[in-house]
Amino acid sequence: MCRRVLALLSVLAALRCAPAASGDGAGAGDAPQLNPRPVIGVLAQENLPGDRFARGSSYIAACYVKYVEGAGARVVPIRINRTEEEYSKIFSSINGLLLPGGDVDLQKSLFSRAAKTFYELAMKANDAGDYFPIWGTCQGFQQLSVLTSNRHLLTLTDTRAVALPLKFTAEAQSSRMFSSFPRDVMQSLAQENITSNFHKWSLSMQNYSRNAKLRRFYRVLSTNSDGKKEFISTMEAVRYPFYAVQWHPEKSPFEWIQKPGMVHSAAAVRASFYTASFFVSEARKSQHRFSSPEEEDAALIYNFPPVYRGRDAIFLQNYYFD
Ligand X SMILES: *[C@@H]1O[C@H](CO)[C@@H](O)[C@H](O)[C@H]1NC(C)=O
Residue 227 phi/psi, 5-degree rounding, is: 100, -25
Q: Which is nearer to ligand X, 95 or 207 (CB)?
A: 207
C-beta closer to ligand X: residue 32 or 165: 165
Judged by beta carbon, residue 75 or residue 114, the one nearer ligand X is: 114
Q: What is the closest distance, in whole angstroms, from the C-beta atom of residue 179 to ligand X in the complex? A: 24
Active-site position among 63, 199, 248, 288 = 248
Which range touches ligand X (CB under 6 A), out of 68-76, 155-163, 239-247, 299-307? 155-163
Spatial contact of 203 and 145, defined as CB atoms under 8 Å apart: yes
- The least distance separating ligand X from the CB of residue 223, rounded to whole angstroms, comes to 11
Task: Select from 57, 107, 169, 277 the one that contacts ligand X (CB under 6 A).
Answer: 57
Look up 152 and say whether it is catalytic.
no
The reply to whether 264 belongs to the active site is: no
Chain CA centroid to CA 127, Å: 20
User: With respect to ligand X, which residue has the nearer C-beta, 110 or 121?
Assistant: 110
CB within 8 Å of 93: residues ≥ 6 apart = 39, 76, 288, 289, 290, 291, 295, 296, 299
Q: Which 94-123 positions form the footprint of ligand X (CB under 6 A)?
A: 110
Q: Does 155 bind ligand X (CB under 6 A)?
A: yes
- The span of 70-78, 93-101, 158-166, 272-280 binding ligand X (CB under 6 A) equals 158-166
- Following DSSP, what letter does each residue of 251-320 receive, concatenated? HHHH----STT----HHHHHHHHHHHHHHHHHHTT-----SSHHHHHHHSGGGS--EE--TTSSSSEEEE
> CB–CB of 42/95 below 8 Å?
no
CA 231 to each of CA 148, 186, 187, 201, 234: distance values in angstroms, whole numbers, following the listed order: 17, 19, 21, 10, 9
- Which member of 43, 153, 185, 244 binds ligand X (CB under 6 A)? 153
Site residues for ligand X, window 188-207 (CB under 6 A)? 193, 204, 206-207
Question: Which residue in the list 63, 138, 199, 288 is annotated as catalytic?
Answer: 138
Kind and range of the H or E run holding 242? strand 242-245
Query: Residue 12 corresponds to which amino acid?
Result: L
Instruction: Phi first, then psi: give them for residue 276, nearest 5 degrees.
Output: -65, -40
- Indicate whether 221 belongs to the interface with ligand X (CB under 6 A): no
Which CB atom, from 69 or from 103, has the smaller least distance to ligand X?
Answer: 103
The residues assigned a catalytic role are: 138, 248
| Interface contacts to ligand X, rule CB under 6 A | 57, 81, 110, 153, 155, 162-165, 193, 204, 206-207, 229
